[in-house]
Chain A
């Protein structure tokens, strides 16, 4: 029987949810170094759904695919600690400056190289951009159907998959063919925790670049345990048209970035005393703002 292959698309993102005081530099620009890099939250929800599919289909495999700088290999290891089988890091300066369309092009070419795949699962959106575009754009480039806003994979076999979608105003149960691309929302089940046995197994998993950088001389180890090799592809490993990558492949351009500077309006300052609050409430009632 052929293996049921799942690709989870994941992104390493700055944790914009915890923007502390030191996140802004004195000149008002964002201090990216102060923001921890994390596994995009909804991509973790996506990984959990993929793991559940794997639980249901004996022998299924999960590959975490991410595009980013060398350190993005961290989230591939994180995925492996939670049950993914292996990972691919797509990394090259040629991809820098990509908007969602150029990103989805590069990712779709990497999936093409990967070969036959039965299911592509990703988070609905990433917290650094909130665009929700890459999933559907990858689906279109691969000419695959898509189901977005998925909260739960209800059932799956080699031909079809049944999904529950969570929309603004209700739920929808849909049946999609295999292969399809599905995007998972944050209301889906949280991802299972790291597994101690898998941490032991994969903690030395590295990309080629990481092995060179660490100057590690464990060629024997990596030959003996091939699962410790995290695949690393550069632009030369995938079949692409260069002009569709990076800035030149991005139809959207950033014209202007403004740091947020607040223009204070003259607010009435009120102390938290009974007298002051009563006065405020009286004013609001008199002006028919309330009541």
Chain B
């Protein structure tokens, strides 16, 4: 009872990366709270899946295995989570900020009347004093996220309602096993008791699952463009540099909204989070929303004509100048001098 729960997302029969990241975070939260970490897996043909989950320091794995539960649909997964949470009363519940987590999370929070904070960039444990009610809360989950276009950082708490729910995007938290020999317990969920026929009113007729064409999180070098690039045509220079350096092209939200680049290249709080060896920010002012997605890059170069751009404050190198002037020089030197 009152443990930390993580919803495990299944993608094409495999556990999604974001779920391992949440288990890692969940384990450290559970350590701080002095409670257990539990995981919930819902799907079909899940035989043996718990052995992949225990090493993250998971004490209990709940498995709901039924042919009707994959691929994911909202209602049966909601019914199972709601019933399980009513019985187990978790204090914290974490889900990926993915199309599945963002479909399921609010539905569950609405049914349980519990607070949910979307797209957290940091989760901590802390206390809170309610001066009006003269009450002190300890061991609350601080759900920290940028808000209002990234101009402010808000710390959200759920003092009275449980579970305290949060979603986190893929790549925001680190993934780390606790111990290969960690011993957990398997608990099978009696699916028939938890779902009803009405939960299956939505039918999936067709699915085309494509691998993402752009894999930003695996790229060692990222050349990113912002609104300051001025046009889609100017992005061609970024593609050329990325190509030469063996990297990928990314974009800020402003550049994506302006149509300079496709949405799957967006880095930031509402896009992908990346940690490349080198991040070259071109014409990016560096709103907090963008920085949340790239500030852990090993090295950052900012190319900007604005000396006061916020991006410069987190950069290792700041090149003051016009992007379209600087990039050809970089390409030229690299082509002449790389092995």
Residues of chain B contacted by A24 (CB below 8 angstroms): 151
A291 to B330, CA, bound (A): 13
A76-113 toward B: CB 8 Å interface, digit per residue (1/0)?
Answer: 00000000000000000000000111001000000000
Q: Which residue of B lies closest to A17 (CB)?
A: B257
A176 to B200, CA, bound (A): 10
Residues of chain A contacted by B333 (CB below 8 angstroms): 277-278, 281-282
Q: Which residue of A lies closest to B128 (CB)?
A: A255
Is B153's CB under 8 angstroms from A260's CB? yes
Is A260's CB under 8 angstroms from B288's CB? yes
Residues of chain B contacted by A213 (CB below 8 angstroms): none
Is A255's CB under 8 angstroms from B156's CB? yes
A23 to B119, CA, bound (A): 24
- CB pairs A–B below 8 angstroms (24 shown): A17-B149, A99-B115, A101-B110, A101-B113, A129-B147, A134-B106, A136-B105, A136-B106, A137-B110, A146-B107, A148-B74, A167-B99, A168-B212, A169-B11, A169-B211, A170-B209, A177-B202, A252-B156, A258-B154, A271-B319, A272-B325, A284-B278, A289-B278, A290-B334
Q: Which residue of A lies closest to B338 (CB)?
A: A291
Q: A250-B115, A281-B337 are in contact. Are A175 and B202 (CB under 8 A)?
A: yes
Q: Which residue of A lies closest to B264 (CB)?
A: A168
- Nearest CB of chain A from residue B15's CB, rounded to whole Å: 15
Q: Does B287 contact A (CB under 8 A)?
A: yes
Is B151's CB under 8 angstroms from A23's CB? yes
Is A170's CB under 8 angstroms from B257's CB? no
- Nearest CB of chain A from residue B254's CB, rounded to whole Å: 7
Residues of chain B contacted by A19 (CB below 8 angstroms): 149, 151, 287
A268 to B117, CA, bound (A): 38
Q: Which residue of B lies closest to A148 (CB)?
A: B103
**Among B107, B143, B157, B318, which residue has its beta carbon within 8 angstroms of that of A137?**
B107
A137 to B11, CA, bound (A): 24
Residues of chain B contacted by A236 (CB below 8 angstroms): none
- Nearest CB of chain B from residue A253's CB, rounded to whole Å: 5
Majority secondary structure, B binding face: mixed
B179-196 toward A: CB 8 Å interface, digit per residue (1/0)?
Answer: 000000000000000000
A290 to B337, CA, bound (A): 11
B244-282 toward A: CB 8 Å interface, digit per residue (1/0)?
Answer: 011000000110010000010000011000000110000
Q: Does A174 contact B (CB under 8 A)?
A: yes
Is A132's CB under 8 angstroms from B211's CB? no
- Nearest CB of chain B from residue A33's CB, rounded to whole Å: 14
Is A130's CB under 8 angstroms from B151's CB? no
Q: Does B138 contact A (CB under 8 A)?
A: no
Is B153's CB under 8 angstroms from A258's CB? yes
- Nearest CB of chain B from residue A270's CB, rounded to whole Å: 5
Residues of chain A contacted by B287 (CB below 8 angstroms): 19
Residues of chain A contacted by B246 (CB below 8 angstroms): 290
A4 to B142, CA, bound (A): 45
Is A174's CB under 8 angstroms from B152's CB? no
Residue of A14, A133, A146, A173 with most partner-chain B CB within 10 A: A133
Q: What is the number of residues of chain A that contact chain B, defined by CB distance less than 8 Å?
A: 79
Q: Does B68 contact A (CB under 8 A)?
A: no
Residues of chain A contacted by B314 (CB below 8 angstroms): 262, 265
A80 to B326, CA, bound (A): 49
Q: Which residue of A lies closest to B126 (CB)?
A: A255
Residues of chain A contacted by B158 (CB below 8 angstroms): 251-253
B305-321 toward A: CB 8 Å interface, digit per residue (1/0)?
Answer: 00000101111111111
Residues of chain A contacted by B136 (CB below 8 angstroms): none
Which residues of B from 103 to 121 have beta carbons under 8 Å from A?
A: 103, 105-107, 109-111, 113-119
Which residues of B from 140 to 166 have beta carbons under 8 Å from A?
A: 142-143, 146-161
A117 to B1, CA, bound (A): 41
A132 to B100, CA, bound (A): 12
Majority secondary structure, A binding face: mixed
A223-262 toward B: CB 8 Å interface, digit per residue (1/0)?
Answer: 0000000000000000000000000001111111111101
Is B152's CB under 8 angstroms from A259's CB? yes
Is A145's CB under 8 angstroms from B155's CB? no
Is B320's CB under 8 angstroms from A254's CB? no
| Supplied contacts A165-B99, A172-B71, A257-B147, 10 more A-B pairs, CB within 8 Å | A19-B151, A30-B152, A174-B205, A252-B116, A255-B128, A264-B312, A267-B312, A289-B277, A289-B278, A290-B221
Is A149's CB under 8 angstroms from B212's CB? no
Is A263's CB under 8 angstroms from B157's CB? no
Q: A168-B212, A174-B205, A251-B161 are in contact. Are A16 and B317 (CB under 8 A)?
A: no
Is A262's CB under 8 angstroms from B310's CB? yes
Q: Does B322 contact A (CB under 8 A)?
A: yes
- Nearest CB of chain B from residue A202's CB, rounded to whole Å: 29
Q: Does B135 contact A (CB under 8 A)?
A: no
Q: Does A27 contact B (CB under 8 A)?
A: no
Q: Does A285 contact B (CB under 8 A)?
A: yes
Residues of chain A contacted by B155 (CB below 8 angstroms): 254-258
- Nearest CB of chain A from residue B302's CB, rounded to whole Å: 7
Residues of chain A contacted by B326 (CB below 8 angstroms): 272, 277
Is B152's CB under 8 angstroms from A260's CB? yes
Q: Does B299 contact A (CB under 8 A)?
A: yes
Q: Which residue of A lies closest to B170 (CB)?
A: A168
Q: Does B47 contact A (CB under 8 A)?
A: no
A157 to B152, CA, bound (A): 45
Residues of chain B contacted by A255 (CB below 8 angstroms): 128, 142, 155-157
Residues of chain B contacted by A17 (CB below 8 angstroms): 149, 253-254, 257
**Among B318, B322, B325, which residue has its beta carbon within 8 angstroms of that of A268?**
B318
Q: A137-B107, A265-B313, A290-B221 are in contact. Are A169 and B212 (CB under 8 A)?
A: yes
A171 to B117, CA, bound (A): 26
